[in-house]
């Protein structure tokens, strides 16, 4: 059996040594060969195959270097887009992850001498957002794919349409309030004026009747010379009764009619106000109901079954950062570990009754409130909004996932 056959200890040792990463300066990109030491690289450079590759390189060196540079850039951007699409990450971290593949295009075959030069190039061309810090260069990938740009445009268009709908609804509500105020107040004033005039006219009649009845009875002389009071006439007493009774009954009828009309106006105004408030509530619900609810500072529970083995399933954490509206950076309360979890694999957590909560979706999105009670049958919570424009408003039934 030969010295370096497939299963000999020497061949196995050589394969183990060649399996890992070796030094960059002993790698030949033209021949795609990695040497383990300086002597091996020197021997490779004197070989006939390497000499032929160098002759090809000498015929058009710029084109070959540009080709390797383009390939290195494409692979590097593909890796950062796949692994750190929405994150701000150190350039050295991305580079170390990229070179983990031993068959990658090496930087010594490109037009960039160092990683710093390459990062600056990405920042100048607008392919990444780069910034220099005391801890080194950091970069954020800028997605400029047509599909992403189209989605972003549609999202912006939808947001503008929602804003326009909200403004239109606010104008409609304002017009309804103005119409309601105009329809209630003039009628009320007119009815009050009419009632005042009627009552004044009736008061005059009553005063006249009372004045006539208050006269002293006439005195008549009898045949023997004595004076006796004249008997009231039947017609006079009847006239007095006829004048007094209708006036009193008319006053009572006018008073009851006035109370009834005032109560009816109050009820109509209350119904109109309740209808306006209901329309405002529906408009706020439509404007603030979104498909994303994550926000910083809230406590959530991890419900991803893929994290059962790592011990994070049904564990609580605090949202420290929201990435792209749908992904949250969660700092676990017990272990302190930081995870990136999609909102579909998270759920909200309710505190004890009396604790503070935040409304994360619906008409009162973004408001802080205090938990007053829980309805386990309807999966709803009763809260009271604290601070802000709706301070003190009590919401009797708000879904668990909205708070």
CB 138 within 8 A of CB 91: yes
Q: Are 135 and 173 found together in one domain?
A: no
Q: Are 168 and 59 found together in one domain?
A: no
Domain for residue 9, yes or no?
A: no
The two three-digit tokens of residue 186, written as one number: 């003039």
CATH number at residue 309: 2.30.30.140
Question: Which one-letter DSSP state was computed for residue 26?
Answer: G
Nearest to 32 by CA among 113, 111, 104: 104
pLDDT of residue 213: 43
Domain for residue 386, yes or no?
A: yes
Question: Which one-letter DSSP state was computed for residue 390?
Answer: T
Please report which residue ranges of 125-233 form alpha helices under DSSP H: 146-213
pLDDT of residue 398: 82
CA distances to 13, 16, 33, 35, 215 from 5, rounded to whole Å, are 12, 15, 20, 20, 148
In the beta sheet, which residues pair with residue 228?
220
Domain for residue 344, yes or no?
A: yes
Q: Are 32 and 121 found together in one domain?
A: yes
pTM over 0.85: no
The two three-digit tokens of residue 323, written as one number: 């990435």
Q: Are 345 and 369 found together in one domain?
A: no
Q: Are 319 and 368 found together in one domain?
A: no
Nearest to 258 by CA among 184, 200, 194: 194
Provide the residue range defining the domain that includes 162: 154-180
Domain for residue 194, yes or no?
A: no
Q: Are 331 and 387 found together in one domain?
A: no
CB 334 within 8 A of CB 342: no
**Four-CA torsion 213, 214, 216, 217, nearest 10 degrees:** 20
Q: Are 388 and 306 found together in one domain?
A: no
Q: Are 56 and 124 found together in one domain?
A: yes
Q: Are 335 and 386 found together in one domain?
A: no
Domain for residue 375, yes or no?
A: yes
Rounded CA-CA distance 319/348 in Å is: 11
Based on the structure, what is the number of domains in the chain?
A: 4
| Angle of CA points 130, 131, 132, to nearest 5° | 135
Rounded CA-CA distance 304/220 in Å is: 114
Give the DSSP per-residue string, 306-321: GGTTTT-TT-EEEEEE
Residue matched to tokens 């209630």: 184
Q: Are 31 and 69 found together in one domain?
A: yes
pLDDT of residue 138: 92
pLDDT of residue 244: 47
Q: Are 395 and 332 found together in one domain?
A: no
pLDDT per residue as tens, the chain (403 positions): 455 666 788 777 766 666 656 666 777 877 877 787 788 888 888 888 888 888 888 888 888 888 888 889 988 988 888 888 778 889 999 888 888 777 788 887 888 888 899 999 988 888 888 888 888 899 888 877 666 667 777 777 777 777 777 888 888 888 888 777 776 555 555 555 566 565 555 544 444 444 444 444 445 555 455 555 555 544 444 445 444 444 445 555 555 555 666 677 777 777 777 777 778 777 777 777 888 888 888 899 888 887 777 788 888 899 988 887 788 888 888 888 888 888 888 888 888 888 888 888 888 888 888 888 888 888 888 888 887 777 788 888 888 778 8
CATH number at residue 101: 1.10.10.2030
Helix (H, G, I), strand (E, B) or coil at 260: helix
Domain for residue 225, yes or no?
A: no
- For the chain, what's the residue count? 403
Neighbours of 403 (CB within 10 A): 24
Domain for residue 394, yes or no?
A: yes
Q: Are 37 and 103 found together in one domain?
A: yes
Domain for residue 131, yes or no?
A: yes
């Amino acid at each position: 059996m030969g010295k370096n056959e497939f299963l000999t200890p020497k061949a196995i040792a050589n394969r183990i040594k060649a399996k890992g990463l070796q030094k960059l300066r002993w790698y030949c990109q033209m021949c795609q060969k990695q040497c383990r030491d300086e002597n091996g690289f020197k021997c490779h450079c004197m070989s006939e195959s390497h000499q032929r590759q160098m002759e090809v390189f000498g015929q058009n060196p710029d084109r070959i270097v540009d080709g390797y540079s383009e390939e290195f850039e494409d692979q590097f951007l593909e890796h950062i887009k796949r692994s750190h699409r929405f994150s701000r990450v150190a350039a050295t971290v991305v580079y170390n992850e990229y070179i983990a593949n031993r068959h990658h295009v090496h930087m010594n075959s490109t037009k960039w001498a160092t990683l710093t030069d390459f990062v600056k190039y990405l920042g100048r061309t607008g392919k990444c957002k780069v910034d220099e810090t005391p801890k080194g260069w950091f970069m954020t990938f800028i997605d400029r794919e047509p599909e992403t740009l189209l989605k972003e445009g549609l999202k912006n268009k939808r947001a503008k349409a929602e804003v326009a709908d909200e403004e239109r609804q606010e104008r409609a509500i304002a017009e309804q309030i103005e119409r309601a105020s105009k329809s209630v107040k003039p009628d009320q004033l007119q009815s009050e004026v009419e009632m005042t005039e009627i009552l004044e006219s009736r008061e005059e009649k009553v005063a006249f009747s009372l004045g006539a009845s208050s006269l002293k009875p006439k005195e008549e002389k009898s045949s023997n010379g004595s004076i006796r009071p004249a008997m009231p006439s039947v017609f006079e007493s009847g006239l007095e009764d006829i004048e007094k009774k209708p006036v009193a009954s008319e006053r009572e009828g006018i008073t009851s009619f006035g109370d009834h009309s005032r109560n009816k106006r109050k009820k109509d105004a209350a119904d109109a106000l309740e209808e306006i408030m209901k329309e405002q509530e529906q408009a706020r619900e439509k404007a603030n109901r979104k498909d994303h609810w994550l926000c910083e500072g809230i406590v959530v529970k991890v419900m991803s079954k893929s994290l059962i083995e790592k011990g994070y399933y049904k564990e609580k954490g605090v949202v420290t950062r929201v990435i792209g509206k749908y992904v949250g950076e969660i700092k676990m309360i017990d272990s302190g570990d930081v995870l990136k979890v999609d909102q579909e694999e998270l759920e909200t957590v309710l505190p004890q009754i009396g604790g503070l909560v935040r409304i994360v979706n619906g008409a009162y999105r973004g408001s802080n409130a205090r938990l007053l009670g829980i309805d386990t049958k309807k999966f709803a919570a009763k809260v009271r909004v604290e601070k802000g424009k709706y301070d003190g408003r009590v919401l009797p039934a708000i879904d668990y996932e909205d708070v």
